């Protein structure tokens, strides 16, 4: 009887440690790889898409880029800009599929500045879209293809809209 308890205890110990090791491995999976035109990101359940793209821009010193993506979202918050109040009116949707994700990376001072729009669909094939304020990956994954630009681009707040606008260098 004592030996059975020891065996069961050992099996439980191994089971907990293997489960922890699997979680650690999942958390340490590669989030991006270099491609001929930029980067490919594969984000997993629970990942904050905006934070992951911002981290990539900082780590890899991306001057500017455009990107597209598709995948499952646990939660997406769209914002519709109210020009009279000069702010976004947010609306959040849960458990949707991102049928389209498109955006750009620029800089605002020493921080990456993202501008993202997208379209999400639910299980009834209803579609919602607009400016993305927040996005978290759902069950499955999300793929983001990033195409690099050669010049550093910046965004600055412009009036009267109080909006963060991409600044273009003048061609001479």
**How far is Cα 33 from Cα 26, in angstroms, rounded to an integer?**
17
Residue 92 in 3-state DSSP? strand
pLDDT for 1 = 59
Q: What CATH code is carried by the domain that includes residue 86?
A: 3.30.1330.80
pLDDT of residue 11: 45
Residue 164 lies in a domain: no
For 130-164, letters b (16+ CB in 10 Å) and e give: bbbebbbbbeeebebbbebeeeebbbeeeeeeeee
Distances in whole angstroms, Cα of residue 57 to Cα of each of 36, 65, 97: 17, 9, 25
Domain-located, residue 119: yes
DSSP letter, residue 155: E
- Look up the pTM and report it: 0.81
Could you report the average pLDDT of every consecutive run of 10 residues in the chain (172 residues)? 55 46 54 97 98 98 98 97 91 98 97 98 97 97 97 93 88 79
Domain assignment present for residue 121? The answer is yes
Residue 97 included in any domain: yes
Our count of domains for the chain comes to 1
Is 77 inside any structural domain? yes
Full residue range of the structural domain in which residue 86 is found: 30-153
pLDDT score of 6: 56
Q: What pLDDT is stored for residue 42 in this prediction?
A: 98
Length of the chain in residues, anyone? 172
Helix or strand holding residue 89 (H, E):
strand 87-108
């Amino acid at each position: 009887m004592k030996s059975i308890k020891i065996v069961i205890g050992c099996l439980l110990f191994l089971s907990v440690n293997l489960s922890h090791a699997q979680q650690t491995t999942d958390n340490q999976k590669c989030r991006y790889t270099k491609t001929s035109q930029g980067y490919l990101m594969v984000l997993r359940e629970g990942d904050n898409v905006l934070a992951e793209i911002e981290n990539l821009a900082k780590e890899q010193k991306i001057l500017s880029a455009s990107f597209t993506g598709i995948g499952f979202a646990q939660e997406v918050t769209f914002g519709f800009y109210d020009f009279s109040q000069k702010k976004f009116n947010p609306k959040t949707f849960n458990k949707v599929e991102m049928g389209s994700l498109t955006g750009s990376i620029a800089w605002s001072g020493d921080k990456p500045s993202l501008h993202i729009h997208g379209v999400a669909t639910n299980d009834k094939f209803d579609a919602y879209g607009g400016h993305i304020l927040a996005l978290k990956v759902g069950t499955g994954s999300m793929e983001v293809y990033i195409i690099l630009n050669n010049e550093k681009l910046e965004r600055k707040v412009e009036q009267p809209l109080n909006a963060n606008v991409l600044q273009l260098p003048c061609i001479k």
